[in-house]
Structure 1
Amino acid sequence: MKNKLLVAFAAGALVLTGCSTGSDTSSGTSSEDTGDTSAGTTSAADMRIDVVTHGAPGDSFWDVVKSGAEQSGDDLGVELQYNSDPDPGAQSTLIDNAVADGTDGLVVSMANPDGLEASIKAAVEAGVPVITINSGIDDWQDFGAITHVGQSETIAGEAAGEQLNDAGVSNVICVIQEAGNVALEERCSAAADTFDGDMENLQADNTDLQASQATIQSKLEDDSIDGLLTLGGDMSGAAVQAVAESGRDIAVGTFDVNADVAKNVLEGKLLFAIDQQPYVQGYLGVTGIYLKVLNGNDVGGGQPVYSGPAIITEDNAEDVLKFAENGTR
């Protein structure tokens, strides 16, 4: 049912595109304005949508979100602006700037809701529709957003805990790669609640994977630790390398997927990956704003739109790998 709803969501936008633009283009704008829309404010050719995330430069996860957003912009024939900054103050400034520049809609990730609250509420007050993606599932309604596209971190964390139970491990380190990211903290908390053994959080830095590997490797000097849970694809690579350097038999699972993650699952270096499908988040976030601006649709029916979790294991990693190598998983 979930997949059918997502297909219908995207298909409806593409049907509307066919009604509101004169021809398909690959440049992000349509070639022809055919007149008024139901909202009476814009056409696809005139529409600008801004995506503002907390992604750090070089983070492969956010490259996939960006690819999904850009593909949606191309498919719908709108102008798309993508900007990101992991600092909540700087991210708020990006949101404020987009509103001041006349954006027609915002797609925003909220790793630090408190830091973004004023800017998002100001955008909504100014009449700019907002959809949150990735992080922010507990706050989007209070901030006035249309919906949230992402996964329930509680459900995803519980799934990770069950996978660790199946692996038979008893003492696990949960590696948090972004300080202050409430979604990551929720993953560890939900995994710990479901996991039958002991779980301890470890702070690392996704912008310095070499230092993070050393931090993890130092922790593995404790012989009682027999499992690692990382919360991002890039960090999982550091964990796999730390385990290899330690010479110990440590079970490693992760959240999020990229090509290296899929390969490591296939090769048995990772037990599993919890995939929130970031391409879907970028694509449907932009699509939802398009539908609101051009047709007055409030997608989600007052509920979040779930992009995951999907569980990647050795059984299905090969199928996922071909998409990950294309930059869409």
Structure 2
Amino acid sequence: MMVAAVAMSANVMAKDVTIGAILLDTKGEWMSEVMHGMKKAGEDLDINVRIADSNADLAKEATIMDNFVVQQVDAITISPQNDEASAAAFDRAVNSGIPVVTWNSKVNSDNMKYFVGVNNYDLGKETGEVAVDYIQKHMGGKAKIAVIGTSKYSVGIERVNGFLDQVTKLPGVEIVARQDAEFQETGMSVTEAIMQAQPDTEMIWAWNLTSMLGAYAAVNARGASDIVMMGTDMSLDVARFMQEQNTVLKAVTTQQPFEIGYQAVKNAYELATKGKTDDEVLVPLKTYVSSEAGELKDYIESRDYL
């Protein structure tokens, strides 16, 4: 009887729990997977998950965070826009008594105790290792590389550093360009500018999915089939592009965004109901290469929910 009573009490408690989830934006398939993971966690835990999009706007992010505090949600999970600028709203939420789990990105605050995501340095490093192997085997140990990165997000800066630390070990590697781009449009325009200013570019690496898709579109539009592309984060389109015969897109290291979204909500729920959860959850990485057709096929077939 006692066990049944406890189980019933826990079930009622779960139904009354509301988690506020804040996304950087809702552009691209990566964020769609995160949202699917968050919603699935809500279904599995039988709780309310309120998902809000800060749309890459710091003021909007702060407003959403403050609104969640006013609404007295039980916990918040957020991918902060900026290490420093996101700290004030973050601290207001924690100081009001609402536990906060960061996912994907972090914030510089003594109140930041819980994180779900990946090691972003390793995310760049793993592609860098594949690039080194490719340069040695197919390019005679030499390559002129353009890097499309970011100076806005610490997660992107870490990825760039991880990639550069690997490829610059080769004495024959020259970094001919470093440009920032976040979304597909800027990824395309930046790549077009790089190819015009540095026509001898032989390899392009991009730090995130949307900038990589833009870079890929620019390379294809120019017919630059001699350029090798690598980057970060998979999508259905990326997998299909990698399946194409003689594709320029040779390797992509990816996170597992569905699992990140799921775990972020789960950990927030644990904080709300138990007062404790894992300080850090690092989701494993995966690198896909164009020569592994079976893995690309499996990736596509396993995402029928998108």
TM above 0.5, yes or no, is: yes
Give the C-alpha shift of residue 313 in structure 1.
Answer: 1.7
Q: Between 277-286 and 265-274, report the one with greater CA deviation.
A: 265-274
8 Å contact kept, 1:72–1:283: yes
- Percent of counterpart pairs with the same letter? 20
Cα displacement string for residues 32-70 of structure 1 (whole angstroms, at most 9, x for unaligned residues) = xx3368xxxx81111000101212x43322111111101
Task: Determine the C-alpha separation between the residues in 1 that align with 2:151 and 2:217.
Answer: 22
- State the aligned residue count: 284
Counterpart of 2:139 in structure 1 is: none
Aligned ranges 1:93-104 → 2 under 5 Å: 93-104=63-74
- Aligned residue for 1:180, secondary structure, equals coil
Question: Offset of 1:19 from its aligned partner?
Answer: 8.9
1:173 is aligned to: 146
39, 58, 65: which one aligns with 1:70:
39
Distance of aligned partners of 1:286 and 1:182 in 2 relative to their CA distance in 1, 3 Å threshold? same
Which stretch shows the higher mean deviation, 166-175 or 180-189?
Answer: 166-175
Contact 1:20 1:43 in 2 (8 A): no
Give the deviation of 1:158 after TM superposition. Answer: 1.2
SS of 1:113 mapped into structure 2: coil
Q: Tell me which residue corresponds to 1:149.
A: 116
The one of 266, 271, 285 aligned to 2:243: 266
CA distance in 1, matches of 2:284, 2:195: 31
Is 2:90 aligned against 1:120?
A: yes
Q: 2:79 is matched with which residue: 87, 99, 109?
A: 109
SS at match of 1:257: coil
In structure 2, how many angstroms separate the alpha carbons of the residues matched to 1:291 and 1:19?
20
Question: Which ranges of structure 2 fall in alignment gaps of 5 or more residues?
Answer: 136-141
AA in 2 matched with 1:308: P
Cα gap change, 1:144/1:171 in structure 2, threshold over 3 Å: closer, same or farther? same
> Could you say which residue in structure 1 is the equivalent of 2:277?
298
1:19 & 1:318 partners in 2: Cα distance? 48
What residue identity is the alignment partner of 1:35? S
Tell me the amino acid that sits aligned with residue 207 of structure 2. L
What is residue 198 of structure 1 aligned with on the other side? 174
The letter for the 2-side match of 1:277 is Q
The alpha-carbon deviation at position 266 of structure 1 amounts to 2.1
Q: Find the aligned partners of 1:312 and 1:325 in 2 and give their Cα distance.
A: 19
Query: Which residue matches 2:219?
Result: 243
Is contact 2:182-2:208 (8 Å) kept? no
Q: Any idea what SS the aligned residue of 1:225 has?
A: coil
How far off its partner does 1:181 sit?
Answer: 1.5
Q: Among 156, 174, 180, which residue is 1:184 paired with? A: 156
TM-score by length of 2: 0.85
> 1:80 aligns to what?
49
Q: Can you list the C-alpha shifts for 1:215-261, whole angstroms capped at 9, x where unaligned?
A: 31231132331111112223222222211222221111111111001
How far apart in 2 are the matches of 1:82 and 1:109? 12
Q: Does 1:35 align with 2:9?
A: yes
Match of 1:163 among 106, 126, 130: 130
Q: SS at 1:224's partner residue?
A: coil
Q: CA deviation at 1:143?
A: 3.9
- The match for 1:226 is 202
Distance 1:254 1:98 in 2: 35
Distance across 1 between alignment mates of 2:102 and 2:148 = 25
Query: Counterpart in 1 of 2:289?
Result: 313
Q: Which amino acid aligns with 1:191?
A: F
- Is contact 2:148-2:180 (8 Å) kept? yes
Say if 2:204 and 2:229, in contact at 8 Å, map to a contact too.
yes
Displacement of 1:186? 1.8
For 2:153, give the aligned amino acid: N
Give the RMSD, CA atoms, in angstroms.
2.3
Aligned equivalents of 1:36, 1:213: Cα separation in 2: 51
Q: Which amino acid aligns with 1:109?
A: S
TM-score scaled by length of structure 1? 0.79
Structure 1 residue identity aligned to 2:277: D
Cα deviation, 1:159-193, whole Å, max 9, x if unaligned, reads: 121111122162222213x6612211221122111
CA gap 1:59/1:80 in 2 versus in 1, 3 angstroms: same
Runs (4+) of structure 1 moved beyond 6 Å?
A: 18-21
